[in-house]
Structure 1
Amino acid sequence: MAGTGSVTMPGTGSALPGSSEPGVTPIPWLNGQDGRLPGLKGTTTAVSHLTGLMGPNDTVPRFSVLGTDLGIMWDNGNGQVLAAFGDTFGFNRNPLCGLVGDWRSNILFRSSDRNLGNGMSIDSAPLDRPHHARELIESRKVNGVEVTTIPTAGIAVGGVQYLDFMSVRSWGAPGEWHTNFSALASSVDNGETWTVHPLTARLNEPLSGNTNFQMGAFIEHDGWVYRFGTPSGRNGAAHLARVRPESLLDPIAYEYWDGIAAWTPSDPKAAGVVIPGPVSELSVAYNEHLGGFVALYTDATNSIVARTSAALESGWSAPTVLVDSRDVPSVYGAFIHPWSSGENLYYLASTWSDYNVMLLHTDIDAARLPKPVTPVRPPA
């Protein structure tokens, strides 16, 4: 996902639509970068590039992916992790149009790699022609109408893959954008093709009062699918809804946590704050080592932070910084790998410096993430 505006990239004659950073290009040395991983020290390390020219997955010749971001991951229920990415670029096929182009609003990779200590290998991607990752959910690519469609969350239920995405109408100031709606798409062929469900779009329009669920994070727990939601942009708080898995595509079936003590059916305006903002590009997972839930996101300083809780509705700890923006000024997004285990927390993050995605690792014990404490709720 890019940020705001369309910026011409130096030395290319091309633009990276949506970029909020002047001169952003997925070719590191054109940004004055050497393309190396950030030299993090301490509890978090950069394991490997996932995408781009400097990555071991050869995403340029295999998939025509020179630059991309995000990487929302979920277990497909059949031995693979699926990862959905935002605005994606390759080399222009026509050099007269500049070096970088081939814009797709979103793509998907599949991985069966469980040995994450040396990186995350990519098995395959949905293609629309040889060596070219396809756009999963089409966008009109017209600023002020629909400039792009960005994945924000994914989950597998009953062998079906579900992708939560937002239709971005226009980019605003850095870290701000305006959406037409959020919606669900589903796939019955492991992400190869997707069907968008119009009812979920119509009832998830900001004008309908559903402003707090324009971006999402899924987690299945205790017979429910929980959906965290944040407003458009990077400055809002997180809210919480839940639905029975069989009713995932029925917006009327959702219940919304009031932030205090009760679930309210069918009314997203009733959702109270669960994690105070700014919460940017949230992901949530259960961690057996901690015996509770972990939430990762980018905070007001553009640092990657973690919170823990024994319950999804409340009791979230104070944030612990995992990647300080002073060490990696251009970092954003933090999406938990669902096969993280023990004290090893793996997640994907993006950087503006080369507009690509890397795998990070945090030692939970060394980072001293708080042990989740069951919150005391007021009587009903």
Structure 2
Amino acid sequence: MNRSLSALTRAGVLAAALSIGLAGPAVADPNIVIPIPGINPIPGINGQPRGLPRLPGVTQAVFQMTGMDSPNRTQNVNVLGTDLGIMWDDGSGRMLTAFGDSAGLGFPNLLVGSVWAWSSQVLFSSTTKDPSQGISFDGVVSNNPLPSPKIPGIEISLIPTAGISVGGVQYLSLMSVASWGEHGKWETNFSTLAVSGDGGRSWAPLTTTRRANVDGYQNFQQNAFLKDDGYVYRYGTAAGRQHPGFVSRAREADIADIDRYEYWDGTEWKPDAKVAAPIVDGVAELSVMWNEHLGKFIMLTTDSTNSVVMRSADRPEGPWSEPQVLVDGPSLPSAYAPMIFPYQTGNDLYFLLSVYNQYNVLLMRSPL
């Protein structure tokens, strides 16, 4: 008799969980990078309380996006735990969300000591424009549309860091991780773009867009996208956390032509990545968007204390304001990768936030 994925999930959860649960909860500090083998997303036995965290400030968690405690029930498509949550409009009114390294049941990645089936990317779709009651997924792309060999020292993962639609074509920016390290450090081979012409259902790598860790491109290994006035702005930082942030841009039609980008040198735009000047300091995973309520561009990232901070600017290149704390680090110490909801929501700011100690993604609301 055939059994559904949800039934298989329920049957396999205990065995998978017990194989790692005895080792105790996952490390709570995301600045100490431990890949999939170190996580336990099973609620109730991962050492974390069930339900949304209650935070002391005005920013609150309002919905769990992924995992077995999520109304989206992503375990039914074998996504028990994941991170990042990069959102963008696909050009036709649908929102695509790309998640990073995701844990599910299946053949484990024994080469790196993981008991999980491990996908480098998974994408969901949604038509939710008002996130006040949560974000509902109504479609999913098969896990690992851009496969990674997951061989330490060669490529351990190929992780999305930004997504955008240009002319109805979808683009993902990804980083090829060669090896993980500690204290917010990891090594990348390159950053690159991938493209989808069918609304995100299938993807192809654009190998001519690879930016290796040399010649100024080391500052664009992790990215964020912004569209403004006919340009695509591609913000960047080096592999890992707590590095300076930089910005490049190209005309929308030239998004996949690496030779057409120009780089902000602190005064003007230049065609050489080596002259790019920092626009902000202490950047981790980041997200940038125009906010109509403030009448400014806003940038979210985390700082050295794992606090979620927001900066604002009148122009994409800045100058950017001093950081304003939205979530204080000690109140949610394993938070990282704040990603802005792509539609305007008045005087409330909604963003996704990854929580490492339960290895899933939360929807947050912060008044502006």
TM-score scaled to structure 1, two decimals?
0.86
Residue 116 (structure 1) shift = 0.8
Residue 311 (structure 1) shift = 1.1
Contact preservation (8 Å) 1:114, 1:339: yes
User: 1:73-132: CA deviations, max 9, x gaps?
Assistant: 1111111111111100112369x9x995111111111111123111111111113xxxxx
2 CA distance for matches of 1:31 and 1:126?
27
Distance 1:198-1:29 versus aligned 2 partners, 3 A rule: same
CA RMSD across the alignment? 2.3
2 CA distance for matches of 1:304 and 1:159?
32
Which of 32, 37, 46 pairs up with 1:31? 46
1 CA distance for matches of 2:35 and 2:78?
23
Contact preservation (8 Å) 1:23, 1:31: no
Contact preservation (8 Å) 1:216, 1:282: yes
Letter of the structure 2 residue corresponding to residue 51 of structure 1 = T
Give the match for residue 278 of structure 2: 273
1 CA distance for matches of 2:288 and 2:357?
26
Residue 353 (structure 1) shift = 1.5
Give the share of equivalent positions with the same residue, in percent. Answer: 46
Unmatched tracts of structure 2, length 5 or more: 1-18, 28-32
2 CA distance for matches of 1:23 and 1:30?
14
Residue 342 (structure 1) shift = 1.0
Aligned residue pairs, count: 342
Asked whether 1:264 is paired with 2:276, we answer: no
2 CA distance for matches of 1:222 and 1:29?
48
Which of 348, 356, 361 pairs up with 1:357? 361
Letter of the structure 2 residue corresponding to residue 183 of structure 1 = T
Contact preservation (8 Å) 1:20, 1:174: no
1 CA distance for matches of 2:241 and 2:322?
19
Letter of the structure 2 residue corresponding to residue 180 of structure 1 = N
Asked whether 1:331 is paired with 2:335, we answer: yes
Contact preservation (8 Å) 1:183, 1:198: yes
User: 1:216-259: CA deviations, max 9, x gaps?
Assistant: 00001011111100000002111010100111111000000002
Asked whether 1:321 is paired with 2:317, we answer: no
Give the match for residue 113 of structure 1: 128
Which of 50, 65, 81 pairs up with 2:65? 50
Residue 41 (structure 1) shift = 3.7
Contact preservation (8 Å) 1:150, 1:166: yes
Distance 1:248-1:41 versus aligned 2 partners, 3 A rule: same
Distance 1:327-1:297 versus aligned 2 partners, 3 A rule: same
Distance 1:362-1:111 versus aligned 2 partners, 3 A rule: same
Asked whether 1:125 is paired with 2:133, we answer: no
Asked whether 1:162 is paired with 2:176, we answer: no
2 CA distance for matches of 1:118 and 1:332?
22
Letter of the structure 2 residue corresponding to residue 299 of structure 1 = D
Letter of the structure 1 residue corresponding to residue 189 of structure 2 = N
